[in-house]
Chain A
């Protein structure tokens, strides 16, 4: 099963302050451990929301809103995607995740499980399969 460790933004990350060398080293070391365990799928840091934008929908109407955005607790600054055998294993890796904020400051990560295809059960895709089989038989 796959989990995404989401790093929440901080005032520093939003201000475009790059992590200090020592913090970078901790983060690199943790990801190296993940990779050595064969658990790391993907990871990346995100630039500040001042470089990004949002699209808001009202039905079919869409409005583009440029960053920066202010509610920093709701913003994300990076992610690490892992593949593990159990929720407990994901929790253990998350527990080892270094504080993403600069030394001595408050930081937060959030972990979410990804949907796997089989979670979607029946639906369009399944219907397409059925049709493909019928086509093949006819």
Chain B
């Protein structure tokens, strides 16, 4: 019987995972506080864990959980645990809700759910919060990951994540950040923050900055899922589709990016037959949408275009490097970040020869934020090696190896350094 109970619990947790973001979003609209909304959602889960093993999962579990959470909210109110201000708001909402038939209530919930979820995304990525806090809160509230799962993904103690989330919720609460969709001038900046959070999650999974594993695909999958959700919530935002296109295409390479012993396999060395054609197709479709919506010059869309050049090349030697170089020129004129410049250098190196690449890359040594960035000496080492300047290349690879915090990447770089030495 123990086994059965566990199976039922797993089912209930799966149902909850599907429902909880919308549940928290809907509850936040009512109680105006993400922290309390999350607690109420958890309370509803506890009730479900008590009841569903006997009653079975209800036909509309989302509405059921919302009802249970609202009942808990009333209980709490009666015990006077909530602030007076929220008391009034909640009282009003609940009075209205109680008067309605369940079917009407469900319909009302469904109507607002999309916007509520989007509000939740925006509040979790609020600029008031540090980047780390935004990432943790988004994964927790929108992604529905547990603090333990987030901690495991980021290789930090669970208490660190838990504290980060608690503090973030308190910050939002103390600042009384409104639960609303940003409008006007605010909107672009807030959307940029949301896209950045999703991209950061993806990148942490795609090229883990620390730890033993080169990639943590679970984070890539989670970021992609968040991106897909966002694309449904904001179907007319070209850059959302641009980001999704970029993530879909990059995800298509996950299986090919890692060798049998867990070592990184670089783009040009990958077995392209292992690329996932479904994800490429989805990525190209998302890219088309972004361009159709007028986003051709958005920074994520431009990066997706670069990714699409690789996706379209059957063999590495078929890559249209001069087009990629042009795309990076355009991207550099818009974004102008040293990381873009570095990639521009790589593209020019491939399109017009290593000397052309080196001319772009070398000035980057003066960029302060690049002093400890392993990819600069890694790229420069590659260009120097191609020019036959092997001593300089070797010392660059060694320096890159000493700078990366990823064990697998360090091994690859040391191998390249050793290869330069052997050719002497």
Which residues from chain B contact A75 at a C-beta distance below 8 Å? none
Measured in the bound complex, the distance between the Cα atoms of B228 and A17 in whole Å is 33
Q: A38-B225, A39-B225, A129-B265 are in contact. Are A137 and B415 (CB under 8 A)?
A: yes
B53 to chain A, nearest CB (A): 14
Are A133 and B11 in touch, CB under 8 angstroms? no
Residue among B10, B11, B14, B265 facing the most chain A CB atoms (10 A cut-off) = B14
Q: A38-B228, A129-B260 are in contact. Are A89 and B17 (CB under 8 A)?
A: yes
Interface flag for A86 (CB, 8 Å): yes
Q: Majority SS of interface residues in chain A? A: helix
Are A83 and B415 in touch, CB under 8 angstroms? no
Measured in the bound complex, the distance between the Cα atoms of B10 and A85 in whole Å is 12
Which residues from chain B contact A88 at a C-beta distance below 8 Å? 10-11, 13-14
Chain B interface residue count, CB cutoff 8 Å, equals 29
Contact with A along B1-29 (1 / 0, CB 8 A): 00000000011011101100000000000
Measured in the bound complex, the distance between the Cα atoms of B271 and A51 in whole Å is 36
Which residues from chain A contact B224 at a C-beta distance below 8 Å? 38
Which residues from chain A contact B274 at a C-beta distance below 8 Å? 117, 125
Measured in the bound complex, the distance between the Cα atoms of B14 and A125 in whole Å is 34
Residue among B227, B232, B260, B271 facing the most chain A CB atoms (10 A cut-off) = B260
Are B282 and A41 in touch, CB under 8 angstroms? yes
Interface flag for A128 (CB, 8 Å): yes
Contact with B along A61-96 (1 / 0, CB 8 A): 000000000000000000001010110110111010
- Count class of interface residues, chain A: 20 to 34
B417 to chain A, nearest CB (A): 12
Which residues from chain B contact A36 at a C-beta distance below 8 Å? 114, 229, 232-233
Are A91 and B221 in touch, CB under 8 angstroms? no
Q: Which residue of B is nearest A86, CB measured?
A: B14
Interface flag for A130 (CB, 8 Å): yes
Which residues from chain B contact A83 at a C-beta distance below 8 Å? 221, 225
Interface flag for A122 (CB, 8 Å): yes
Which residues from chain B contact A117 at a C-beta distance below 8 Å? 255, 274
A52 to chain B, nearest CB (A): 22
Residue among A35, A39, A136 making CB contact with B269, cutoff 8 Å = A136
Q: Count contacts between A and B, CB distance < 8 Å.
A: 65
Residue among B11, B17, B265 making CB contact with A91, cutoff 8 Å = B11
Within 8 A of A (CB), among B321-371: none
Measured in the bound complex, the distance between the Cα atoms of B265 and A39 in whole Å is 28
Residue among A39, A41, A92, A130 facing the most chain B CB atoms (10 A cut-off) = A92
Which residues from chain B contact A95 at a C-beta distance below 8 Å? 57
A4 to chain B, nearest CB (A): 12
Q: Which residue of B is nearest A136, CB measured?
A: B269
Interface flag for A132 (CB, 8 Å): yes
Are A91 and B260 in touch, CB under 8 angstroms? no
Residue among A91, A122, A136 making CB contact with B14, cutoff 8 Å = A91
Measured in the bound complex, the distance between the Cα atoms of B260 and A130 in whole Å is 8
Are A93 and B18 in touch, CB under 8 angstroms? yes
Measured in the bound complex, the distance between the Cα atoms of B277 and A81 in whole Å is 14
Extra pairs beyond A37-B229, A38-B227, A117-B255 (14, CB < 8 Å) = A38-B224, A38-B229, A83-B225, A86-B17, A88-B11, A88-B13, A88-B14, A89-B17, A122-B260, A125-B271, A132-B269, A132-B271, A133-B259, A136-B419
Q: Using a CB–CB distance below 8 Å, which chain A residues touch chain B?
A: 35-42, 81, 83, 85-86, 88-89, 91-93, 95, 117-118, 122, 125-126, 128-130, 132-133, 136-137
What are 26 A-B pairs at a CB distance below 8 A? Answer: A35-B228, A36-B229, A36-B232, A37-B18, A38-B227, A38-B228, A38-B232, A40-B228, A41-B282, A42-B282, A85-B17, A88-B10, A88-B11, A88-B14, A89-B14, A91-B11, A91-B14, A92-B15, A93-B18, A122-B260, A125-B274, A129-B259, A129-B260, A129-B271, A132-B265, A137-B415
Lowest 4 A-B CB distances belong to which pairs? A88-B14, A38-B225, A38-B228, A89-B14
Q: Using a CB–CB distance below 8 Å, which chain B residues touch chain A?
A: 10-11, 13-15, 17-18, 57, 114, 221, 224-229, 232-233, 255, 259-260, 265, 269, 271, 274, 278, 282, 415, 419
